[in-house]
Structure 1
């Protein structure tokens, strides 16, 4: 069987915020077919593969100051198993007047008097609206199934997905790597608070045992980094409602285990050693998880039950 061809296209969408910090740039990965015709040769645009269309959609949010191309290998690996995968870059205010790449966080929505009333990431709604427009135009006209959507993310991107998913009715699965719902004391919460995830669907959480970024951020949450329970495991046990959830621990993997870290930006300098490459096993696990819950694939559900590949799985 030949390897699935994956191509991508670009799009822009206006989000919340003040110009020029109100625009998200999307990269849309999709299963494609090569025709070899002149139009393809001259434009570089390939048609979507009709074999699996319309494709369920995966919206993936980056960590703070992590460019979307850092996730290209992960996104392409998931797309190759029968999904349209969307990543995003958005430059906007972070906090304290700083500007950088951000998934777009409504900090007021994460305060005690508002949490759980609206998404902490309003950008998600703008992205879903943009995908509806893309689905009306060539080359992807009719190729996206926007009634079957998964939200995923890394680090802060995973956190806001966990805090926002239930506000979007089409979302049928959520996954995250190196993300949790522990909340900063600067927002008015008590030290060590883990917020209930705003999800109403199955969740897959992934983390490496050498995650130095989460460990190096403990003081944000009023904790001692040298002696604290793992926030990702706490999220899995304390923050999720009853459901078909998975925790995947990859021994020896670090915070940037599914990304190609940029040493000039973000906080990879805090990370632990990458003794294991988590990208391949976590992309495989994510794809099976999405096939099970977005495609109702019985074979995928069996594969989940037997999944190993160097990953320690917990279920609840």
Structure 2
């Protein structure tokens, strides 16, 4: 019987000890045999029927624990992917410490943007997965030539700012993320930076996203009267390509996560009046199977969603039709 299991790993990242370690959780399709080894260790063998599996590296929002995304990433794994999340306690800004995927702020300044990834930890995680693929339960189970990069909130932003620097990345997706940049980094108010991507992108956002609205002053804007930054990113920041935008009515910023009321900024969010986990997981799965697995069935599913106005194709795609 096929099921989704997970295992833990660690990787050394930038920073001074003890704030220099990423703790990875790796979700994978497994096969349950009922063996004594499973019973005694809790370790299940990867399902060999579709191995090696394409890989998804998912970047969390600031101060949002990786287990907050368990429902969403498990749904992705169920469609035939190994999905990796990680927690990393390190410096945020101004001497504060918290959960962060790690942002190289200097790489986001006007004199450096586009020369290197804003999230160096992506490379560290890919190196750790290479190591995992050579030993233990996941020996040979990962196809590291077929990788997607995803993220939520700030994690989605750095995914959009970093993807093209890692050649194996063939698709990018993000929820509640955009490429507007803070004025404190030296950019004019309202600046939307070009995404650093060389592959298809899927962006998702809910109409009740209160966190993006509540952060407008970071970008020198008024949150009550501004175009949606995610829609602006979709329209202005992406190169020509097979990009898609999903706007889910009544979903909020934490629509694909289980919000923790004691941490992060969920207190800014709008009402959570719609389930975004299942529909966005379905869209993401079809998107990834299209671009990492060359699935005609998945491509037809995306076409149906676009025809039903659930997904919006990028302007460059509409112009080509």
TM-score greater than 0.5 by the shorter chain: yes
In structure 2, which of residues 166, 169, 177 is the aligned counterpart of residue 168 of structure 1?
A: 166
Is residue 151–residue 174 contact of structure 1 (8 Å, CA) maintained in 2? Answer: yes
Whether 1:21 aligns to 2:15 is no
Tell me how far apart the structure 2 counterparts of residues 277 and 268 of structure 1 sit (CA, whole Å): 16
The Cα shift of 1:40 comes to 1.0
SS where residue 283 of structure 1 aligns?
helix
Match of 1:209 in 2: 207
CA RMSD of aligned residues (A): 1.2
Is residue 64–residue 103 contact of structure 1 (8 Å, CA) maintained in 2? Answer: yes
SS where residue 299 of structure 2 aligns?
helix
Is residue 61–residue 153 contact of structure 2 (8 Å, CA) maintained in 1? Answer: yes
Match of 1:226 in 2: 224
In the TM superposition, what are the counterparts of 1:112-191 in structure 2 within 5 Å? 112-191=110-189
Provide, for residues 216-247 of structure 1, a one-character-per-residue CA deviation record: whole Å limited to 9, x for no partner: 00000000011000000000000000000000
Provide, for residues 262-300 of structure 1, a one-character-per-residue CA deviation record: whole Å limited to 9, x for no partner: 110000000000110100000010000000000000110
After TM superposition, what 4+ stretches of structure 1 lie above 2 angstroms from structure 2?
A: 308-312
Match of 1:89 in 2: 87
The Cα shift of 1:311 comes to 7.0
SS where residue 37 of structure 2 aligns?
helix
Is residue 185–residue 191 contact of structure 1 (8 Å, CA) maintained in 2? Answer: yes
Tell me how far apart the structure 1 counterparts of residues 275 and 82 of structure 2 sit (CA, whole Å): 24
Provide, for residues 58-105 of structure 1, a one-character-per-residue CA deviation record: whole Å limited to 9, x for no partner: 000000000000000011000000000000100000011110000100
In structure 2, which of residues 261, 280, 283 is the aligned counterpart of residue 282 of structure 1?
A: 280
Match of 1:42 in 2: 40
Match of 2:256 in 1: 258
In the TM superposition, what are the counterparts of 1:4-19 in structure 2 within 5 Å? 4-19=2-17
Match of 2:55 in 1: 57
Whether 1:198 aligns to 2:177 is no
Is residue 281–residue 309 contact of structure 1 (8 Å, CA) maintained in 2? Answer: no
List gaps (5 residues or longer) in structure 1. Answer: none
Tell me how far apart the structure 1 counterparts of residues 68 and 223 of structure 2 sit (CA, whole Å): 27
List gaps (5 residues or longer) in structure 2. Answer: 315-321
SS where residue 144 of structure 2 aligns?
strand
Is residue 306–residue 312 contact of structure 2 (8 Å, CA) maintained in 1? Answer: no
Tell me how far apart the structure 1 counterparts of residues 125 and 13 of structure 2 sit (CA, whole Å): 8
- The verdict on how the C-alpha distance between 1:309 and 1:20 changes in structure 2, with shifts beyond 3 A counting, is farther
